[in-house]
A and B are shown apart, each in its own frame.
Chain A
């Protein structure tokens, strides 16, 4: 079983004094998967990543990474992480630190220097090698920390809020980078940006107060084969009953949020999603409604709010 699993956690519990940061979490991450980890602040995301990386020892339960106990010496170089709250050495130039990291990964000095140049370019920090981390802005610091997680060829990369604090252009560049890594290594990404996770991940794990409350593929979780979500202007003239009467539609619900209308259409299990989509757009057009957006499935945000 574990041969095809990148990460396997069984009954994982971590306590900090009286606080139960993670509570009986059982999770399996297949090799090559890209998994988004979602939850409110304090839900246990960082604790879960820290247990996977071997930084923390479980209070109870077990966790294996690439078939070895998390933190095992044999995992050095095979797993990388962007930790959320770790600090680089303040007074040592970034390039010197990254070169040291590269050498720890087994590279010789020239190879490590080339690798540093490569990863700094990936995060758009070509000129930052000579700068000390203490003078970097938050966003630049974050990208520098991300660069160290990209060194070498790890089989698993854990990214704890990789785009938090980045400006939109930098965040997009990081997303592009992660999209490129997807499928070539196992990726676990925690983020509060649910749109980003929908874009990047094939599976989602939702944590709430230390418990894993949902873990499934994104398609299954968001009912992408059985649900359509349409966003319309607030004043749109839509009748849910008319939509519910369309072929292949089981249920249609209208809700209003922040001045816009949301139409959630649940399809019959055997319905052709593409045909239903076309019929829905036509029905809306007949009533003079132009959708702002139409997506297959339900928004991840709704699902998360529903389960936490």
Chain B
């Protein structure tokens, strides 16, 4: 692969995205949603900090529901005792909403280029690998950078820069398999709309299967790993070993999706 070609595609893609409806919609959507959530966190700061105390956890039902998503009680207690509660809640928000933001910003990597045959203008000037990798990397930079920066900044503002940096890394890690999954679906369907429909359906079916079937048999809960968001608890786990496992899993998912996407893209008619 010509890395120069991939770098040029990445830079051009970013430049175009930031001037396109897709890129602007993503940034506005992300900015407004995050601003709203952060303002709510700031508004309810005292309640959240009260909740973090063991006695408070039993009282605030709504906050407890949100906190449950972080993991089991042990994980929750350790996180809340070690880090600013407001940052722990934000971390959960950042990871839960990430798939939505990634879908908004990265759903069209090669799909429209395939459907309009724009790729025909590029493929005799650079390689398929450069286009595929450059578009994937461009989409990743677009959707992973703002959440990672905001998370890091929020960590610094909350007085726990180290934890903020770790959550920023977790956000960046989780974005990678999601972007790679969209790259795979783009290559397979050549349609941005079908890609969105497919990834949403996939996530929904996996979530339903893993939660509903798990009522009958707990072993079905592992079906959640058919979608990469299943690794969220690992990425928030205070244990460095579990965190590293989460990072490794994110890379594994990303490698598998990207390899499958590339396998299709390099062989398909354009």
Contact = CB atoms under 8 A, between A and B. Distances in A.
Contacts of A80: 124-125
B16 A101 contact: no
Contact of A86 (B9, B20, B121): B121
Contacts of A91: 19-20
B8 A103 contact: yes
A100 B1 CA distance: 18
B75 interface: no
Interface string A42-81: 0000000010011111000000000000010101110111
A87 B5 contact: no
Contacts of B270: 55-56
A105 B120 contact: no
Contacts of A103: 8
Interface string B111-126: 0000011111111111
A87 B120 CA distance: 9
B259 to A, nearest CB: 18
Contacts of B217: none
B127 interface: yes
B269 A56 contact: yes
Given A85-B117, A88-B118, A55 B123 contact: yes
Band of interface residues on B = 20 to 34
Contacts of B4: 106
B126 A76 contact: yes
A86 B117 contact: yes
Contacts of B12: 100
A48 B129 CA distance: 23
Nearest to B129: A73
A190 interface: no
Contact of A75 (B124, B129, B130): B124
Interface string A99-114: 0110111100000000
B58 interface: no
Contacts of B124: 53-54, 75-77, 79-81, 154
Given A55-B270, A56-B269, A57-B267, A104 B120 contact: no
A226 interface: no
A236 interface: no
A104 B269 contact: no
A92 interface: yes
A88 B128 CA distance: 18
B2 interface: yes
A4 interface: no
Most buried by A among B119, B124, B130, B269: B124
A148 interface: yes
Contacts of A56: 269-270
A89 interface: yes
Contact of A104 (B8, B16, B267): B8
B129 A87 contact: no
Contacts of A53: 120, 123-124
Given A55-B270, A57-B269, A76-B124, A92 B116 contact: no
A297 interface: no
Contacts of B121: 83, 86, 88, 97, 101, 145, 148
A91 to B, nearest CB: 7
Contacts of A55: 119-120, 123, 269-270
Contacts of A81: 120, 124
Given A55-B269, A73-B127, A76-B2, A104 B122 contact: yes
B30 to A, nearest CB: 22
A280 B9 CA distance: 63
A139 to B, nearest CB: 18
A154 B9 CA distance: 21
Interface string B1-23: 11011001100100010011000
Contacts of B117: 83, 85-87
Interface in B1-53: 1-2, 4-5, 8-9, 12, 16, 19-20
Contacts of A100: 8, 12
Most buried by A among B8, B19, B270: B270
A19 B118 CA distance: 24
Contacts of A88: 118, 121
A192 B8 CA distance: 37
Interface in B123-171: 123-130
Contacts of B127: 73, 76
Give 5 nearest A-B pairs by CB, closest first.
A86-B120, A86-B117, A104-B125, A87-B116, A83-B120
22 contacts: A50-B120, A50-B269, A55-B120, A57-B269, A71-B123, A73-B1, A76-B123, A76-B124, A76-B125, A76-B126, A77-B124, A77-B125, A79-B124, A80-B124, A83-B121, A87-B116, A87-B117, A91-B19, A103-B8, A104-B125, A148-B121, A154-B124
Interface of A: 50, 53-57, 71, 73, 75-77, 79-81, 83, 85-89, 91-92, 97, 100-101, 103-106, 145, 148, 151, 154
Interface of B: 1-2, 4-5, 8-9, 12, 16, 19-20, 116-130, 267, 269-270
